[in-house]
Structure 1
């Protein structure tokens, strides 16, 4: 490896991959190019990565810097996620990944040295349309001559109390991605060691799914089933009435993704429903990228069991391929177990706001007609909270 590790980030968001890689490589990391179309995200990138070239649109990007070591692409999950439109890999937003392969094809023709390629997205793409999205990705990688491997990981392995599952797909023409992704493995998180003084859930759900998480929040999302980019709520059963159902502040959201608090402040336009929560919800957990960077620097041995897999239905949660063959790998979603930060230790409880009357009453009305939320005491505390909830957003005619 050269004295510098040079990275280009496409669909860069607020730079979660690049922040994690910077922690792994230190001063050796050089983020040469960031490409992002959404203006609030560009404001964050411009402030936090002033040394990097910033390009506004992957569709018009034709040239990548020379001498790159890695190209990262956390392409939009809008058409792949359960919270999104589920239009599939050919959808308007998720289909933008096609530009990545056009760029890499051009890179292969004009630059002798091919970099690592990292793709990040939601696990639903392994199952949606019988795994058509993953089939498309590996086909394109095969045409580029890349060997690839992928693994679903849960962000909690980095110690943050957010249950966030993501696919990491790593590919290379010259290197073997398997020791990078599969040399670390554990039996997983011991749920019995988690505290029971805080439970995260989606208040924007009710009839279909709560996203229930013990001593953690569920996955932060850029949107929800009711179209609101909002933080999950947190049930604090030991707090006083009126403070048992709260929402974290956006700075807590940044910390739950591994960023410094205040990371998205450059995009704060002073509006009540500004873009910061959506920026956080769309980000990559920095600790996940840090682990990946450390593994690229010093890969271990690949010795996990793997068996040849014939495509049928959803793809496995971990696999590798070379040419047309696919091999399923027996790997957990917890490559390692960093010291866990319990949710109440991370939360700024003095800044957490009680879930509003409008939000809590709407959630309660949906909850009552579902079979969800049966944890002892939860329904009773939601019902108690509604009449005590703050009402500044309650509109009267």
Structure 2
């Protein structure tokens, strides 16, 4: 099978598909640092602005992790008509001219809720108007062997095939959370209304600011000595948390740009799972399904095949994949840097002033980290 990647970023979709046996011949990416990574890591044609692409080459699969800027809870929330997320229309323009057998989209789960689900409603209505079958499902990257909690919604569509055989062919029950971990993730940029707390995982990696200021999550390594217990993952560790080899983005020099590239990427093993099911579709699992009213809310998983819309009761964990390494092991192997005194002090102040609950010993660890910096 041959693929074309739109909004390729640093090639998360493409790297995952390659591991399942699907070759991406053409990639389209407008941001120069991302294109530089693609040129180093892939033997493919790298094109620029999707708006300048006249038509798709012949292919079996088109992937598009289209911009989430206008759909994300931390973005502009302009919605599907925003200048960046609205570029999904370019995908549809190209699919109309020469559509592939399969179309695979990825975005934040907030597209199901923002403005009463206006984004997902626009997408599926276009697909239905053009007689495509579609299925979407929200899954979490932490269940694919990486130590990052990252919920994303994937949509697979086809005019001739049943996309449920791709997204709905696997469903595993959620594993119980171990009560004790060597590492806990948190957002040091928060602390007043939330923590982004992760039990043995980091919260979702983010792209950072428009100014290229990186904001990787914090990690509490409670077994380490004071001064080394409150840290941020290195960029190499961040790449591993997305399923890339360490050094994947080293064609780019600025660390802020590298974090933006990594934070915006598609998690590689999730793309590999989808690719493996495109190559070898399975039978849809037997779970509860029901009709739904999209004027009220959109479910986490749904499909429309041959004109029948249904919500499916599926977990966010399709496969039983053992973690490749603990979060603490990733930090130990690929590196971490102490959180600065300014960042730690600001976070601790907000946390103490809030009503948020945190794990026993966490605030004391923050205070000890601050004291160690002051005495240094």
Normalised by the shorter chain, which TM-score bucket?
over 0.9
Task: Give me the TM-score of the superposition, normalised by structure 2.
Answer: 0.95
For 2:374 and 2:248, locate their aligned partners in 1 and report how far apart those are by CA, in whole Å. 28
For 2:308 and 2:210, locate their aligned partners in 1 and report how far apart those are by CA, in whole Å. 37
- Cα shift at 1:136: 0.6
Q: Which residue of 2 aligns with 1:282?
A: 264
Which of 26, 30, 33 aligns to 1:33? It is 26
Which of 383, 393, 396 aligns to 2:367? It is 383
CA RMSD of aligned residues (A): 2.0
For 1:388 and 1:144, locate their aligned partners in 2 and report how far apart those are by CA, in whole Å. 62
Listed as ranges, the gaps of 5+ residues in structure 1 are: 109-113, 393-397
- Cα shift at 1:234: 0.1
Q: Which residue of 1 aligns with 2:197?
A: 212
Contact 2:208 2:259 in 1 (8 A): no
Which of 313, 317, 329 aligns to 2:300? It is 317
CA shift digits 1:325-372 (9 cap, x unpaired): 420001000001211131112223683111011211121222222122
CA shift digits 1:41-71 (9 cap, x unpaired): 010001111x2111110111112112x0100
**Residue 78 of structure 1 pairs with residue 59 of structure 2:** no
Q: Note the 1:201-350 alignment, pairs <5 A.
A: 201-223=186-208, 228-268=213-253, 271=254, 273-302=255-284, 303-322=286-305, 325-340=308-323, 341-348=325-332
Task: Give me the TM-score of the superposition, normalised by structure 1.
Answer: 0.90
- Cα shift at 1:189: 2.7
**Residue 174 of structure 1 pairs with residue 170 of structure 2:** no
Choose 217-226 or 250-259, whichever is displaced more. Answer: 217-226
**Residue 359 of structure 1 pairs with residue 350 of structure 2:** no
SS in 1 for 2:105: strand
Q: How many residues align?
A: 374
Which of 99, 105, 109 aligns to 2:96? It is 105
Q: Note the 1:23-62 alignment, pairs <5 A.
A: 23-25=19-21, 29-49=22-42, 51-62=43-54
Listed as ranges, the gaps of 5+ residues in structure 2 are: none
Does the C-alpha gap of structure 1 residues 158 and 366 become closer, same or farther in structure 2, counting only changes over 3 Å?
A: same
Choose 373-382 or 124-133, whichever is displaced more. Answer: 373-382
Does the C-alpha gap of structure 1 residues 335 and 149 become closer, same or farther in structure 2, counting only changes over 3 Å?
A: same
Contact 1:210 1:373 in 2 (8 A): no
SS in 1 for 2:156: strand
Contact 2:214 2:256 in 1 (8 A): no
Does the C-alpha gap of structure 1 residues 76 and 249 become closer, same or farther in structure 2, counting only changes over 3 Å?
A: same
For 1:327 and 1:48, locate their aligned partners in 2 and report how far apart those are by CA, in whole Å. 40
Contact 1:354 1:389 in 2 (8 A): no
Q: Which residue of 1 aligns with 2:128?
A: 142
